[in-house]
Amino acid sequence: MFRTYSLPLQRFATSLAGSAALAEELVQDVFVALWTKREALALHSTLQAYLYAATRNRALSLAAHQKVRDDWAADEARRLAETERDAVQQPSESFEVEEFTRVVRRTVEALPSRRRAIYEMSRDRHMSYAEIAAALDISTKTIEAQMTHALRAIREALVTAGWAVG
């Protein structure tokens, strides 16, 4: 099955993803998922149609995820530039940003180790909840719950420090 479909699927995925290396990875992911779900999988069409649809869906999902990351990176760069500009123009605001950051950092360091690791993977490494769940071999719901607790702790620490948090 792999020998029959992998090259045509890679060509198809390359047309969607724009990169042969990425296409190869996408196709491998499709076959791994197929193997993993082989016992529970109920095909409603031909195997070929399933493989092409799965490859297309993975490529589209990857493209959407990359767009979110790119948008976030652009927003973060804009915010950083504004913060740097404002720090030069208004030293008192620079002090406030430093104090805010200090409170957040102190709170994150005080989180339980697993919660802190999840928070840092999300915020520092910019990993999605699904990526974190896969890396730690736990459910996405657990990641969501841990992030909720972490963000609540940060919010409470900021309010205690006198910051108005919405």
Length of the chain: 166
Query: Does residue 91 carry a pLDDT above 60?
Result: no
Q: How far apart are CA 87 and CA 58, in angstroms?
A: 42
pTM to 2 decimals? 0.45
Packing angle of the helix pair 91-110, 47-89 (nearest 10 deg): 130
Query: Could you report the per-residue pLDDT of 31-69, keeping only the tens digit for each?
Result: 998 999 888 888 888 889 989 999 999 888 888 888 888
Mean pLDDT of the chain: 87
Burial degree of 92 (CB within 10 A; 0-12, 13-18, 19+) = exposed
- Which segment of 1-5, 13-17, 31-35, 89-93 scores lowest on mean pLDDT? 89-93
Q: How far apart are CA 147 and CA 166, in angstroms?
A: 17
Q: How far apart are CA 10 and CA 22, in angstroms?
A: 9
Q: Which of 6, 111, 124, 126 has its CA nearest to residue 55?
A: 6
Do residues 55 and 11 lie in contact, with contact meaning Cβ atoms separated by under 8 Å? Answer: no
